[in-house]
Amino acid sequence: MSRLEELFKGRSKKALLMPYTTGGYPTVKDCRQVLEAFIAGGADMIELGVPFSDPLADGPVVQASTQQALDQGVTPDDVLQLASEFTSRVPVVLMIYYNCVFAYGVDRFVEAAAAAGVDGLIVPDLPVDEGEEFIDACRARGVDAILMVAPTSPDERIELIAGSASGFIYCVSVAGVTGARTSLSEQLPDFLWRVRARTDVPLAVGFGVSTSEQAAEVARFADGVIIGSRLISMLDEAPDIGDGCRTIVKFLKEVNEVLN
């Protein structure tokens, strides 16, 4: 069992809380402060995005954060460095688009992630059918290849994905890109039951979760809750980074209350 799986299985909370932010946003320095805020707010693990020029699974909020990081010259190496500063304190998974992995060299990137102490890698544009080399490299280096399933995935595909999954399965709450949504899909429970029936790997839900009410709802059916765009918006809207981080800590604590 991987470290992430052990964390899920040994939890006392209803569901683990995994905040997301874009690596190097708003700046590399301020991003450290954001990650500290995640820890202070009670994050059980952290998802850190590697900025990519063409993030086609992301909505406007994450896109803009990505562009801002890129404009400052943030590279995958910078994000690996940033991650390595936190991995001894909290498990970190990286979200990275496939072209960045491919350009780095699939094995070389997984090796660098392992060396940084990263527990898992999420590649949103690499479906399981194209992922053999990547998944093998992850296995060889003891890093979880976190695979995604979507509400549109038929049962046979869920089985196929479950067969290669480790760490947790990233369940996309709605057919769509990242971004806060006012309500969860009515089909979410049915979707999660379909996945649950086909795997023992823990299930985390992301895309669109943005309030503690939604987190509480998700926690009834899933093992983990991922919140991203809402947190980035808090930073966008705050007068300064200190203020943004305080808002985030307060919000994450509220969410944690409903998850405990």
Partner 1 sequence: MTIQSRFGPYGGRYVPETVIPALDELAAAYERLKDDSGFRAELNSLLKDFVGRPTPLYFAGRLTEKLGGPRIYLKREDLCHTGAHKINNTVGQLLLAAEMGKKRIIAETGAGQHGVATATAAALFGIPCVIYMGIKDIARQELNVVRMKLLGAEVVPVSSGSQTLKDAMNDAIRDWVGNVEHTYYVIGSVAGPAPYPALVRDFQSIIGREARRQVLESEGRLPDELVACVGGGSNAMGLFAAFLDDQVSMTGVEAAGEGLDSGKHGASIERGQRGVLHGSMSYILQDAYGQIIEAHSISAGLDYPGVGPEHSWLHDEGRVRYDSVTDAEALAAFTLLSETEGIIPALESSHAIAWIVKHAEDYGKDGVVIVNLSGRGDKDVHQAARALGIME
Residues annotated as part of the active site: 47, 58
Rounded to the nearest 10°, the torsion over CA 224, 101, 56, 81 is 60
**Contact stretch for partner 1 (CB under 8 A) within 23-31, 102-110, 187-195, 196-204:** 102-110
Is 115 an interacting residue with respect to partner 1 (CB under 8 A)?
no
Residue in 16, 94, 143, 172 binding partner 1, rule: CB under 8 A? 172
Shortest distance in whole angstroms from residue 240 CB to partner 1: 26
**Residue with smaller CB distance to partner 1, 12 or 156:** 156
Chain positions 10 to 39 lying near partner 1, rule: CB under 8 A, are: none
Residue in 30, 176, 185, 189 binding partner 1, rule: CB under 8 A? 176
Which DSSP string do the residues of 124-152 spell out, in sequence order? TT--GGG-HHHHHHHHHHT-EEE-EE-TT
What the block records as the tokens of 119 is 């527990």
**Contact stretch for partner 1 (CB under 8 A) within 24-32, 83-91, 137-145, 171-179:** 171-179
Question: What whole-number distance in Å separates Cα of residue 165 and Cα of residue 127?
Answer: 12
Question: What whole-number distance in Å separates Cα of residue 201 and Cα of residue 94?
Answer: 19
Is 140 an interacting residue with respect to partner 1 (CB under 8 A)?
no
Is 185 an interacting residue with respect to partner 1 (CB under 8 A)?
no
Residue in 110, 146, 150, 180 binding partner 1, rule: CB under 8 A? 150
End-to-end CA distance of the chain: 24
Chain positions 53 to 72 lying near partner 1, rule: CB under 8 A, are: 53-59, 63, 67, 70
Burial code (b: 16+ CB inside 10 Å, e: under 16) for 191-200 equals: bbebbbebbe
Secondary structure of residue 243 in the 3-state scheme: helix
| Side chain identity, residue 86 | F
